[in-house]
Amino acid sequence: MQFTFRPGVARQLALAAGALSIASLVSSCNSGGDFAKTKSGIEYKLFKKDGSKYTARTVANGEDPTFKDRQGKFLLAHVTYLTGKDSVLQSSRQQLQNHPVPLPLMAATRKGGQEEALALVQPGDSAVFRFRADSLFKGRPVPAELKRGGNYLVMQVVGVKVIDQAEAMSMQQELQQIAMAEQQRQMRAYAADQDKKDEVTLQDYIKKNNLTAAKKSATGSGVYILTTQPGTGPDAKPGQLVTVKYRGTLLDGKEFDSSAKHPGQPDFSFAVGRGQVIPGWDDALTQLSKGAKATILVPSSLAYGKAGSPPAIPANSPLRFDIEVVDIKDAPKMPAGAMNPAAQAPTSAPAGQ
């Protein structure tokens, strides 16, 4: 498993505690004099561990003659990527709950990149590398985070030990599970915090728009349902095919989607509880029957979350839907062995369209 720079996760990984500890280490390394340079232009500082302290280590001509003994193996290390202004972009400590990650040690396929930088790091070293972003991303757009951070990408590495390929491969599944568990923990913590904010926003919206008859979902999800016209018969059940007319708006009243906007498809059908629509819809529709009309207020965590659905739906947006349940019927049975279409159904488009 190779730990590499992925600018898309920058905001998720900038956790306060990790950022402070990393920034303090980088700051202490930066205080140890000017950066040296490799022949290819990588700026670097190397420090070897001497007891409980780090002392500067020099590398003649920016090349480590001992690298030949490590080439083809893996450096088990903690690695962090930052902007030129020390804003954390990605951190193995944060993603992997302080576990080091195996980094491949190989001959540089091109000069001036991560492979060449890692060749200088020995177990026990702490190193800071600084890359010019426009050089590193040559031929590709420089991520906005790096432009704002001084047009540099900084890589900080703390070497632990060198391991062989077999040991690195055996660690892969465990590290992936740790990363997934940490990501889920962060998502739960984020959603819990955002849900509190959305609850305040929705309560304020309900009061201002005289929707005080709206009731919270019976599931306790945080969705509000205001039935404006009762339906007949039983409520929709998970797995049933529901057909609706709908209109979706932001809380400021701006419409982002409606069934009327889809010529030839004035009604929208989906199987309830199969992940074919946003979770707020799956929750609310099990509490509505055929013929019902309702206003549904959905917190952002049960809509499009922190990503939003650009450009129509900003991040962390609670949403309003005005819905009419046109029909409810049993979904047709799938042939034996057929793949459940819900397993591939998109959930990012407004209301599943």
Q: Catalytic site residues?
A: 246, 256-257, 278, 304, 321
Instruction: Name the residue among 187, 198, 242, 250 with its Cα closest to residue 221.
Output: 198
Amino acid at 199: E
Run of H or E including 95? helix 92-95
Kindly state the DSSP code that residue 162 receives in the 8-state scheme: E
Measured CA distances, 214 to 103, 227, 231, 280 (Å): 54, 8, 16, 15
DSSP per residue over 173-200, as a string?
A: HHHHHHHHHHHHHHHHHHHHHHHHHHHH
Residue 286 dihedral angles phi and psi, to the nearest 5°: -75, 0
Q: Which residues pair with 156 in a beta bridge?
A: 80, 128
Amino acid at 238: P
In angstroms, what is the C-alpha Rg of the chain? 27
SS3 label, residue 28: helix
SS3 label, residue 297: strand
Run of H or E including 98? none
Q: Do 280 and 223 touch, CB atoms closer than 8 A?
A: yes
Kindly state the DSSP code that residue 309 receives in the 8-state scheme: B
Q: Do 130 and 154 touch, CB atoms closer than 8 A?
A: yes
